[in-house]
A and B are shown apart, each in its own frame.
Chain A
Amino acid sequence: MLIYIIKRIFLAVLIVCVAMLLLLSAIHLVPGDPAGVALGPRATPEMREAFRVRMGLDQPFIIQYVKFLANVVTGDLGVDVWSNKPVSSIIGAQVPHTLRLTLLGLGWAVIVGIPLGCWSSIRPNSWIDRIVGLISVSAIAVPSFIIAVYSLLLFTVTLRWFPAIGAGDKGDPWDQFMHLVLPSFAIGLGWVGYLARLVRASMLETMGENHIRMARAYGLPTAKITYVYALKLAILPTVALLGVGVGGLLSGAVFAEIVFARPGIGKLVYDAVMTRNYPIVMGGVLVTTILYAASTLISDLITAALDPRVRENL
Chain B
Amino acid sequence: MEAKKSFSDSSDFRRESRFSNLVQLVKNPLGLIGLIIVIAIVSSAICADWIAPYDYKAFDIKARLSGPTWDHLLGTDNLGRDTLSRSLYGGRVALSVALISVSLSLVIGLFLGMLAGYGPRRLDSLLVLIFDSIRAFPTIMFALAVITIVGPSLNTVIAVVVITTVPGYARIARTQTLALKHTEFILAERSLGAKPIRVMFSHIVPNVIAPLLILASMDIPVVITIEAGLSFLGLGVKPPTASWGSILNLGYSFIRDTPWMVIAGGVPLILTTLGFTFLGEALRDVFDPKLKKD
Contact = CB atoms under 8 A, between A and B. Distances in A.
A138 B274 contact: yes
A273 B148 contact: yes
B252 interface: yes
Given A142-B273, A149-B252, A197-B294, A254 B262 contact: no
Interface stretch (B68-76, B107-115, B137-145, B171-179): B137-145
What's the dominant secondary structure at chain A's contact region? helix
Interface string A88-126: 000000000000000000000000000000000000000
A197 B145 CA distance: 33
A146 B294 contact: no
A258 B270 contact: no
Interface stretch (A42-50, A277-285, A302-310): A277-285
Interface stretch (A20-28, A65-73, A210-218): A20-28
Given A15-B136, A22-B133, A149-B266, A141 B145 contact: no
B252 A284 contact: no
Contacts of A30: 146, 149-150
A137 B270 CA distance: 12
Contacts of A255: 140, 229, 232-233
B235 A141 contact: no
A200 B140 CA distance: 29
Contact of B136 (A26, A37, A153, A293): A293
B141 A288 contact: yes
B136 A19 contact: yes
A21 B232 CA distance: 29
B266 A146 contact: yes
Contacts, number: 145
B138 A250 contact: yes
A200 B293 CA distance: 11
Contacts of A276: 148
Contact of A137 (B136, B147, B269, B277): B277
Interface in A197-242: 197, 200-201, 204-205
A247 to B, nearest CB: 5
Contacts of A56: none
Interface string A241-265: 0000001101100110011000000
A185 interface: no
A143 B229 contact: yes
A314 interface: no
Given A273-B235, A285-B142, A18 B129 contact: yes
Contacts of A21: 133
B42 interface: no
A292 B138 CA distance: 7
A231 to B, nearest CB: 16
A30 to B, nearest CB: 5
A150 B263 CA distance: 8
A145 interface: yes
A16 B256 CA distance: 42
Interface of B: 30, 129-130, 132-134, 136-142, 144-151, 163, 221, 225, 228-229, 232-235, 248, 251-252, 255-256, 259, 262, 266, 269-270, 273-274, 276-278, 281, 293-294
Given A153-B259, A289-B138, A293-B136, 10 more contacts: A19-B136, A22-B130, A23-B142, A30-B149, A30-B150, A37-B151, A204-B294, A251-B140, A254-B138, A266-B140
* 7 tightest Cβ-Cβ pairs between the two chains A and B: A201-B294, A141-B277, A18-B133, A19-B133, A251-B140, A250-B138, A143-B225
30 contacts: A14-B129, A15-B136, A19-B133, A27-B145, A37-B150, A134-B30, A137-B281, A138-B277, A140-B277, A141-B276, A142-B270, A143-B270, A143-B273, A145-B228, A145-B229, A145-B232, A145-B248, A146-B269, A149-B252, A153-B255, A157-B255, A201-B293, A247-B138, A248-B138, A254-B140, A255-B229, A255-B232, A255-B233, A273-B148, A289-B137
Interface of A: 14-16, 18-19, 21-23, 26-27, 30, 32, 34, 37, 134, 137-138, 140-143, 145-146, 149-150, 152-153, 157-158, 197, 200-201, 204-205, 247-248, 250-251, 254-255, 258-259, 266, 269-270, 272-274, 276, 278, 281-282, 284-285, 288-289, 292-293
